[in-house]
Amino acid sequence: MEAFHNIKTVAKRELSGYFASPVAYVFIVIFLLLAGFFTFMVSRFFAGEQASLTAFFIWHPWLYLFLVPAVGMRLWSEERRLGTMELLLTMPITTWQAIVGKFIASWLFLGLALVLTFPLILTVNYLGHPDNGVIFCGYVGSFMLAGGYLAVSCMTSAITRNQVVSFILSVVICLFLILAGWPPVTQMLVQWAKPWLVDGVAAFSVMTHFDSFQRGVLDSRDLLFFLLVMGFALFTTGIIIRGHRAG
């Protein structure tokens, strides 16, 4: 119970920090505008004449590629820059409680931005008779995808006190997680690599697992993949922060 209380305290502190500045509102507005632009203008949602949100979800790996690192880059970089990380970690909480608390707060913030796209659900239901189960799976997959990117951003933020460097590192790592299973890349690999190698590389891609959610398949293996990405990145974050404390 004490551990849960400590995590909740850190999470509340982090969430209040987001909404104490215009950054949170700017991020949400940008996310909603970009999501709407790519869905209606680029994918031509209405021209498709289908009661589906595929045109919405298909852009999420690319939208999150830049927007999520922008949220996560400050998690530990700012604490180090301001010299408050030492103060935070001298409180009666463990390192992992601080990491989980900050991660959950940021993940909930991203979840809020995603929930605010609910007018799309109303629109597609007004225009036709969509499979809301598929839409629900798409939202679950999008939330898990955001969590995976965020955990990577948390890790890169712990490496350096420079937020720009943290942002760039996070974008590069997340881009690799996209390209490993992106169809154009896998098709290129097939020409010179063995099928088992191509499948192995694709298995590490967020695209491979996110596609299942878009099709309405809620597979435990896909959920486990994203949870493992989050767990590994947060575990690495803990090792990095303990290294800073020891130093």
Distance CA(167)–CA(165), nearest Å, equals 5
Looking at per-residue pLDDT, the higher value among 189 and 224 belongs to: 224
Q: What is the mean pLDDT of residues 26-55?
A: 83
Q: CA 64, CA 87: separation in Å to the nearest integer?
A: 31
Q: How far apart are the first and last CA of the chain?
A: 31
Determine the 3-state secondary structure of 138 from DSSP: helix
Residue among 208, 61, 50, 63 at smallest CA distance from 134: 50
pLDDT of residue 179: 86
Q: Tens of pLDDT along 122-151?
A: 988 888 888 899 999 999 999 999 999 999
pLDDT in tens, 47-96: 666 778 888 999 999 999 999 999 988 888 776 666 666 666 666 778 88
Identify which has the larger pLDDT, 240 or 84.
240
- Give pLDDT, residue 246: 54
pLDDT of 42 above 60: yes
Mean per-residue pLDDT over the chain, rounded: 86
Could you give the number of structural domains in the chain? 1
Supply the pLDDT for residue 73.
Answer: 87
Q: Per residue in 157-179, pLDDT tens?
A: 988 888 899 999 999 999 988 88
Give which of 130, 120, 136 is closest to 49, Cα–Cα: 130
Is pLDDT above 70 for 22?
A: yes
Give the 3-state secondary structure of residue 95: helix
| Residues ≥6 apart with Cβ < 8 Å to 60 | 142, 145, 146, 210
pLDDT confidence of residue 242: 81
With 80 as the cut, is the pLDDT of residue 105 above it?
yes
Predicted confidence (pLDDT) per residue in 196-220, tens digit = 777 777 778 888 889 999 998 888 9
List Cα–Cα distances, 118 to 15, 36, 125, 160, in angstroms: 22, 12, 11, 36
Q: Could you tell me the pTM of the whole model?
A: 0.90
Burial letters for 122-144: b for 16+ Cβ neighbours within 10 Å, e otherwise? ebbeeeeeeeeebbebbbebbbb
Report helix angle 95-115 to 60-72, nearest 10: 140
Give the pair of three-digit tokens for residue 242. 């303990």
Residue type, 188: M
* Domain limits for position 53: 2-246
